[in-house]
Structure 1
Amino acid sequence: MNNNPEPKPLYSTTLPLRWGDMDQLGHVNNTVYFRCFEQARVEWIDLHPQHLDNNPAYVVIVHTECSFLRELKAPGTVEVRVLAGEVGRSSLVQRYELRRVDAPDQLVATGSAKLVWVHPDTGRSTPIPERYLTHLHTL
């Protein structure tokens, strides 16, 4: 029996692949995959500005990973899909799917990151701010 909830779509964005993203072997460097995940995560966070609930908590990443499924070459454009995984008191696991826009049926990579909200005064974990919970509860 699987107790993990089915990930629900949170956000999607497209990003260009650049010549400078490639390594000496001619494929996109592994660090670029993490940058794609990061860019999508930051864009999602920016959809929930602090003024919505006046909660100053910010996000830190306590774990991240990537499974590289297919070679990726530039130029081109990728789509990063952000999915909601497990939600805790102060944490959210985001799951990522990376695909080329010109081959949307081919999954290039999957990944995840565990986000933890931290209060700036204490530096300790704090409950997920309401502005994010509202979005998560509408899924």
Structure 2
Amino acid sequence: MSVPGNLVSTLDAPLRWGDMDAYGHANNTVYFRFFEEARIVWLSSLGLGGPEEPTGPIIIKTSATFLKELSHPATVVVKTYADKAGNTSLDTYHTLTDAETGVVYAEGYAKIVWFDRTRRSSTRLPESLRALATG
């Protein structure tokens, strides 16, 4: 498996019993929540995008490829990669793996656009994010 971009963050998280659906595995929305949590923790670690800040991230496109069923109990590792940066956007990728076995459950993608919360429009991507990108 080859994920584009530079590895910028790793987050361990438990799958909660309540994340399971009627079919006995993690609901597909849970994967997106793991990706979201990893992005927020990563950006927060850089001091970027907090709710009190005048600018921050919004997601304009996201996707996931579900590779293996995820069931409780499990602890997952979410790795976040920064790929191409534009003037106002950054492509990010995620992998979701089992912390114990390394089995890959899913791969994900999100296009982040930096957003001016007062003007309600996109704004220049912070240089600290641009520096982490591959291009």
State TM-score, norm by structure 1.
0.85
Q: Which structure has the larger Rg over C-alpha atoms?
A: 1
> Alignment length, in residue pairs?
129
Q: Distance in 2 between matches of 1:38 and 1:137?
A: 18
Aligned to 1:11: 9
Q: Secondary structure at the match of 1:89?
A: coil
Offset at residue 133 of structure 1 (A): 3.0
Describe how 1:37-48 pairs up with structure 2 within 5 A: 37-48=35-46
Q: Distance in 2 between matches of 1:77 and 1:37?
A: 14
Q: Which amino acid aligns with 1:123?
A: R
Contact 1:57–1:129, Cα closer than 8 Å, also in 2 = no
Q: Secondary structure at the match of 2:123?
A: coil
Aligned to 2:60: 62
Contact 1:80–1:96, Cα closer than 8 Å, also in 2 = yes
Q: Secondary structure at the match of 1:67?
A: strand
Q: Distance in 2 between matches of 1:121 and 1:20?
A: 37
Contact 1:98–1:107, Cα closer than 8 Å, also in 2 = yes
> Aligned pair 1:121/2:118, yes or no?
yes
Contact 1:95–1:112, Cα closer than 8 Å, also in 2 = yes
Unpaired segments of 5 or more residues in structure 2? none
State TM-score, norm by structure 2.
0.87
Q: Secondary structure at the match of 2:57?
A: strand
Seq. identity, %: 39
Q: Distance in 2 between matches of 1:68 and 1:120?
A: 33
Offset at residue 18 of structure 1 (A): 1.2
Offset at residue 137 of structure 1 (A): 6.0
